[in-house]
Homo-oligomer: A and B are copies of this chain.
Amino acid sequence: MSDFAQIPMQFIGPVKLSGPVINGDFEVPLATYETPLWPSVNRGARVSMNCDGIQCTVVDERMTRSVLFETPDATAAVQTLGKIKADFPALQKIVEGTSRFANLIDLHSQIAGNLLFLRFEFTTGDAAGHNMCTQAAEALMNYIFKTHPELKYESISGNYCSDKKATAINGILGRGKYVVAELTIPEKICRRYLKTTPEKIVQLNIRKNLIGTMLAGGLRSANAHFSNMLLGFYLATGQDAANIVEGSQGLTMAEERYGNLYFSVTLPNLIVGTIGNGKGLDFVLENMQRMGLDETREPGENSRRLACLCAATVLCGELSLLAAQTNPGELMDAHRKLERKHE
């Protein structure tokens, strides 16, 4: 009996990256049972090598945990909430005591009847931060109980976080790394490597990703198959891949600009890190090393670089599938072996 599930893994690329966080050509690993994903993402990577690179921007980063209290009534909840907010510096101090890397940066709340939900928001250095946040939230809860004996414990997690569930809050308030990856593709590159035109990709993106998902009752999920690349990348880099649930909630944009194709993916919820559970396995260490993420950098920098590599990979796969789907002939003939399963 095996002690490991062995998921087929390959490096794809190189992918060309640019922007304030990371620059250069990188190979990235993808672990998946759906092996046609590899050549598909590779096609996108080849496009990036023939352009000015995929520009990656980290818009925000935070990890969250929501706790849930019962209060006497909504009036009391509002009063207590006011005091807790006024005591924010003390809460920050509590959090600092729980970890060298955890910082409390914001606090959001919701009052429903006599229930009080507090959503604590932290930076967590290079860790994805699940554990760090739970520990910090526990310490915060203990402190709040001491200062507010009128509160009753309901849960260390009130689902207002929210972790690994299809919700709107993570995109709106932030959870994980919020990364935008952008690529401008000259028309001739589009034709040569993707066998399509900017115009066709723009139209497909509107009709399928924006309108189609909307009609399906989609929630902040205007893309074709972010989840496939996220799964492969998360597994290959030791991430908690259940976080592809919120990770998949992102946006693909495609616009024609002076005849060329502007193509971007916006991923507000990449829950990734370079340290923590899963990161000590040999193949993960090797993979991190091959992407240059084993170097000592400022806290948080390696995880931001990782998030950019992830977003660029998502862009490559998304671009390639959309291109394939613009072309019925391609899909139904040669490329169907590659693309068929990817969505």
Tell me whether chain A's interface is mostly helix, strand or loop, or mixed.
Answer: mixed
A326 CA / B68 CA spacing, docked (Å): 11
B residues less than 8 Å from A90 (CB atoms): none
CB proximity to B under 8 Å, residues A185-233: 203-204, 206-225, 227-228, 230-231
Judge whether B155 and A207 touch: CB under 8 Å.
yes
A299 shortest CB reach to chain B, Å: 20
Copies, count: 4
B residues less than 8 Å from A57 (CB atoms): 73-75, 77-78, 111
Binds B, one of A42-50, A91-99, A278-286: A278-286
A267-280 vs B, CB cutoff 8 Å, 1 = contact: the mask equals 00000000001100
Judge whether A155 and B68 touch: CB under 8 Å.
no
Judge whether A212 and B117 touch: CB under 8 Å.
yes
Q: Given the known inter-chain contacts A167-B217, A212-B68, please indicate yes or no for A332 contacting B138, CB distance below 8 A.
A: yes
B residues less than 8 Å from A281 (CB atoms): 6, 33
A282 shortest CB reach to chain B, Å: 7
Closest to A218 in B: B167
Looking at the complex, which one of B4, B217, B249, B336 makes contact with A220 (CB distance below 8 Å)? B217
Q: Given the known inter-chain contacts A59-B74, A157-B343, A171-B215, please indicate yes or no for A235 contacting B164, CB distance below 8 A.
A: no
How many chain A residues touch B (Cβ–Cβ < 8 Å)?
Answer: 126
Judge whether A155 and B34 touch: CB under 8 Å.
no
Closest to A325 in B: B155
Judge whether A208 and B331 touch: CB under 8 Å.
no
Judge whether A225 and B164 touch: CB under 8 Å.
yes
Closest to A223 in B: B165
B residues less than 8 Å from A10 (CB atoms): 3
CB proximity to B under 8 Å, residues A91-138: 108, 110-115, 117, 130-131, 134-135, 138
**Which residue among A3, A55, A157 has the maximum number of chain B CB atoms within 10 Å of its CB?**
A157
Tell me if A149 counts as interface (CB < 8 A to partner B): no
Given A57-B77, A112-B211, A113-B253, 17 additional A-B pairs, CB 8 A: A4-B9, A5-B6, A5-B9, A7-B235, A34-B278, A57-B78, A113-B251, A113-B264, A131-B341, A135-B340, A154-B208, A214-B220, A214-B222, A225-B242, A230-B242, A231-B241, A244-B244
Residues of A within 8 A of B (CB): 1-11, 19-20, 29, 31, 33-35, 55, 57-59, 66, 68, 73-75, 77-78, 108, 110-115, 117, 130-131, 134-135, 138, 141-142, 153-169, 171-173, 178, 180, 182, 203-204, 206-225, 227-228, 230-231, 235-236, 238-242, 244-245, 248-249, 251, 253, 262, 264, 266, 277-278, 281-284, 286, 290, 325-326, 328, 331-332, 336, 340-341, 343
What are 13 A-B contacts defined by CB distance under 8 Å?
A2-B286, A20-B75, A59-B77, A59-B111, A73-B182, A115-B211, A158-B207, A158-B208, A167-B221, A168-B218, A219-B219, A241-B241, A244-B245
